[in-house]
Chains A and B, each alone.
Chain A
Amino acid sequence: MTTDVSAERGADVAPRVTDERPDDGVPVIVIDGKPSWRRWFADLYVYRGALQSLAWRNIRSRYKQAALGMTWAVLQPAVQVLVFTVLFGRMVKVPSGGVPYPVFALVGLLAWNLFNKIVSDGAVSLVANQAIITKLFFPRIYLVLAAGASALLDALVTTVLLVILLSVYHIAPTARLWLALPVLLGVLLFSFGFAALLAAINARWRDVQHTIPFMLQIGLFATPVIYQNSFVPARWRWLMALNPLAGLIEGFRSAVLGIPISTPWLVQVSLVISAVMTIVGVWLFRRSEANIVDLV
C-alpha cells in the first residue's frame, strides 16, 4: 500500500511515447457508431465464453431450490401428453394415423415445446437481463441463444421419454429417421430467428411480451401438434403453409413414426421460411443492437 506515488506520476513524462503499432498480435478494437458485419462475427468468436457462461447459468439455475429438480423436465411433457390423450385421444377421438395417441402427441409436443420455450424465453431475454447488458459488453444475440439452452436440455429429456414410450408400444425407427435432422434444424432456425426478432422489438415496445403467451397458446392449436394436418379441411390446408411449424412438425412426425406426409411440399416451404426467418431475425436484431441499451 505504501506505493511511491510520485514515481508513478513522473512516469508519464519520462518514456518516449510511440504511436506505431508493432505487429505483435495484440488485437485492436475500434469503437464507432457504425460497426461492420465482419466485426460482428469476429466478436461472436472472441466472446464465445460469454455464451457458454450464460447458457450454463440458465441451465444451472433452472431447477435450483426445487425439490423435484430435473424431474420437472420429465413431468411437464408427461402431464401434457396425459391431458391431451384423455381429451383429444379418448374423448374427441382425433385421428392419429394409426399411431397410439400418446406417442403421436409426444412427438408433436417435443418439437412444439422446443419452439415454444425458445421463443418465450428468447423474446424477453434482453429485457430480463437488462441489469447485465447495461453493465457489460458481449454479443447481445448470445442472450437469445443462451435462453434456448434450457429449452434444448428439456427437448433432450423429452427425447429420452419418447424413446421409452416408443419401445413400450413396440414402434421401431424406419429409414425415414434421417429426415428428423433437417426438420429439427428447421425448428431451431425458425425458433431462434423468431426469438431474435421479437427480442429486438420487445426491447423497444414491451407489448411483445404481453402478446407472446396467448400467441403461443393459440399457436399450439393452430399447428398440427395434437392433430394431423389432414384433419384440416383440404380447402383450408394452404393456410398451413403460412405456419412453418405445421410442415416441420408434420415432417418430424413422419420421420420418427414412419407415417407418410400428407403434403410433402409443405415441409419444403417450411424449411425455406425457417431459413428466411433466421436471416431476417438476425439482421433486425443487429440493426437495433448498437443502441439497444439506450432503449431497453
Chain B
Amino acid sequence: MTRHVSVRVEQVSKTYRIPRPNAPRISDYVRRPAWAVRAPKSQVVTALRDVSFELHDGEVLGIIGRNGAGKSTLLKVLSRITSPTTGRVTMRGHVASLLEVGTGFHPELTGRENIYLNGMLLGMSSQQVTRVFDAICEFASVGDYINVPIKRYSSGMQLRLAFSVAAHLHADTMIVDEVLAVGDAEFQRKCLGAMRDVSRDGRTTLFVSHNMSAIEALCSRVIWLDRGAVKESGATDRVIRSYLASAVPHEGAANELVSLRGAVRTARTIGLGELSAIRFTRREGAADRPPWRVAFGEAFQLSIGFKLNRPVPDLIVATGFRNDRGEDVLTSHSCDAADSVQRTHGSTTGAATVDVRQPWLRPGTYYVEAALLSGSQLLDYVSEAATLVVDEQRSDGAPRLELKKGSTSPIWSWQFADEPLC
C-alpha cells in the first residue's frame, strides 16, 4: 500500500497586529492636527511560529497544548478561515472542518432543513445530503423531532444532529476542534467511534483536544504546540507523557513543588501579598508514580505557600479544580471546615495544607487553581497553578464510571434492607 502526503504544512507563521489600549483613534485626528497625534501604536502578537509537519492519508493527528498555545489558530489556518502570514499549506482533496458544532444552524428552521443547509454549507451538494440523510438522522437519534424547529431541541440533541452532519461529510481531510467536550458520555463514545471509522476509510483527521484519553484513543501521532511553535511531535504516548510532565513547569518533572512566582495572574490586588508555590504530596507510598498524577479515588495533599507584605485580617487560602471542559468541579477554602487549623496572626509568610481525603474527581485532566484572599478581597489568584491527572482505575470494585453522570463521582455507602418501602 502506498500512502500519500495529504496535508503538508511548511513553516507556517501567523502574526496579529493588535492595537495598544491607548492607540490614537480617528477622533483624535479630528480634534488635533495629524502631526500632533502620536503615531498609532500597535503591537504584533505571534500566534504561530514556523509550524511544519506532514500528514499521510488515513493518519489521525492530535494537537495538544495549553490554552493560548496556538491550537485554534492552526486549525483556522488549515480550514482557510484566516490566512497564514508566511508559510504554505498544501492539502489533497476536500477538506471539512468542524471547529464548532452547529455552525450555521438556524434556530427557527427544522432539523430537516438544518441538515440540508448545514451539509451544503460544509461543502456537500444537496444530492449528497439526500443520500446520507437517513444515516444522519439515525446517528443523531432525533426521531420525530426532525420536523421541529431546532430551537425546541435540547442542547445535547442539537449537538448530536450537528456532529452527525459533520461525521457524514465525504471529505478527505477532517479538521476537528474540541467539539466532543459538550455531549454526554455515550455520545462522546459514538463520536470517537465515528471518527475512527473516518480514519479507517483512509481519511485524514486533525484533532484538537484537552482530553488526553480521547487523544490517546484516537491519534496515531501527536503534535504539542507551545507558544505558537511545535515543541514536540511524534508517538502519542511519548508526547503526551512529556506534555503532562511539563505541566509542572518550573522545577522539573520529578519535583512536586511548583513555584508560582512567574505564573500567569488573571486577578490580583497589587501590593498586599502573593502566592509563592504549590506542592503536591501523596498520602500513601506509591512513590513510583509521578507527582500530580493520582489514581481515581486516591487521596493526596496540597500545600499552598504565600508571602504577605504586611499582616492582613481574615487570611483565606483556597484551591479548586477545573476540568478540561473548563468547568469548575470543586473549590475549597481554608475557612470551610470548623476544625480547620487557623494560622497564627502577625507573621507575613506561611503555607496552608489541605487534605484531599475523598477526591471525587472523575478520571481526566484538571487545572489546579490557587487563590489568596483577605476576607472577600482577592489578593492573588493563579488559575492554572498546576495540572493534576486522575487516572482511571480498573481494579476490583472500581466504580462503574462509564455509567455515571456528573463531573464528580462520589463514593457513598448504601445499606440494604429486606422489606420494600410500600
The 8 Å CB contact of B99, one of A9, A12, A29, A136, is: A136
Across the interface, do B220 and A12 meet the contact criterion of CB distance under 8 Å? yes
Across the interface, do A293 and B90 meet the contact criterion of CB distance under 8 Å? no
Q: Which residues between 1 and 51 of chain B lie within 8 Å of chain A, taking CB atoms?
A: 1-5, 16
Could you list 20 examples of A-B contacts with CB < 8 Å?
A5-B217, A16-B1, A17-B2, A18-B4, A18-B5, A21-B4, A26-B92, A30-B88, A32-B88, A33-B83, A49-B120, A49-B123, A52-B126, A54-B121, A57-B106, A60-B109, A61-B106, A136-B97, A136-B104, A290-B82
Across the interface, do A11 and B84 meet the contact criterion of CB distance under 8 Å? no
Knowing A135-B81, A137-B80, say if A1 contacts B3 (CB, 8 Å): no
Q: What A residues does B122 contact at CB under 8 A?
A: 136
Across the interface, do A53 and B117 meet the contact criterion of CB distance under 8 Å? yes
Across the interface, do B117 and A290 meet the contact criterion of CB distance under 8 Å? no
Q: How far is the CB of A40 from chain B (nearest CB, A)?
A: 12
Knowing A26-B92, A137-B97, say if A31 contacts B83 (CB, 8 Å): yes
Chain A interface category by residue count: 35 or more
- What 9 new A-B contacts, CB under 8 Å, besides A30-B91, A136-B97, A136-B122? A8-B60, A15-B2, A16-B2, A19-B5, A30-B89, A60-B113, A132-B121, A135-B81, A293-B81
Across the interface, do A32 and B83 meet the contact criterion of CB distance under 8 Å? yes
Q: A136–B98 Cα gap in the complex (Å)?
A: 8
A1-42 near B? 1/0 per residue, CB < 8 Å: 101010011011001111111100011111111010000000
The 8 Å CB contact of A56, one of B80, B83, B91, B117, is: B117
Q: How far is the CB of B417 from chain A (nearest CB, A)?
A: 38
In the complex formed, the residue of A with least CB distance to B221 is: A12
Across the interface, do B126 and A18 meet the contact criterion of CB distance under 8 Å? no
Q: How far is the CB of A293 from chain B (nearest CB, A)?
A: 5
Across the interface, do A1 and B193 meet the contact criterion of CB distance under 8 Å? yes
Across the interface, do A32 and B235 meet the contact criterion of CB distance under 8 Å? no
Across the interface, do A57 and B104 meet the contact criterion of CB distance under 8 Å? yes
B residues neighboring A (CB under 8 Å): 1-5, 16, 56, 58-60, 76-95, 97, 99-100, 103-104, 106, 108-109, 113, 116-118, 120-126, 149, 172, 189, 192-193, 196, 199, 216-217, 220-221, 235-236
Across the interface, do A33 and B2 meet the contact criterion of CB distance under 8 Å? no
The 8 Å CB contact of B82, one of A1, A12, A56, A294, is: A294
Q: A21–B91 Cα gap in the complex (Å)?
A: 11
Across the interface, do B80 and A31 meet the contact criterion of CB distance under 8 Å? yes
Q: Does A92 contact B (CB under 8 A)?
A: no
A186-221 near B? 1/0 per residue, CB < 8 Å: 000000000000000000000000000000000000
Q: A32–B80 Cα gap in the complex (Å)?
A: 9
Q: Which label, helix, strand, loop or mixed, suits the secondary structure of the A interface?
A: mixed
In the complex formed, the residue of B with least CB distance to A137 is: B80
In the complex formed, the residue of B with least CB distance to A65 is: B108
Knowing A5-B217, A50-B121, A293-B81, say if A28 contacts B92 (CB, 8 Å): yes
In the complex formed, the residue of A with least CB distance to B88 is: A32
Across the interface, do B99 and A135 meet the contact criterion of CB distance under 8 Å? yes
Q: Does A178 contact B (CB under 8 A)?
A: no
Q: What A residues does B91 contact at CB under 8 A?
A: 28-31
Across the interface, do B83 and A136 meet the contact criterion of CB distance under 8 Å? no
Across the interface, do A50 and B81 meet the contact criterion of CB distance under 8 Å? no
Q: How far is the CB of A249 from chain B (nearest CB, A)?
A: 34
Q: How far is the CB of A217 from chain B (nearest CB, A)?
A: 24
Across the interface, do A132 and B3 meet the contact criterion of CB distance under 8 Å? no
Q: What A residues does B193 contact at CB under 8 A?
A: 1
Q: What A residues does B82 contact at CB under 8 A?
A: 290-291, 293-294
Q: What A residues does B196 contact at CB under 8 A?
A: 3
Q: Does A76 contact B (CB under 8 A)?
A: no
Q: How far is the CB of B153 from chain A (nearest CB, A)?
A: 16
Q: What B residues does A32 contact at CB under 8 A?
A: 83-84, 87-89
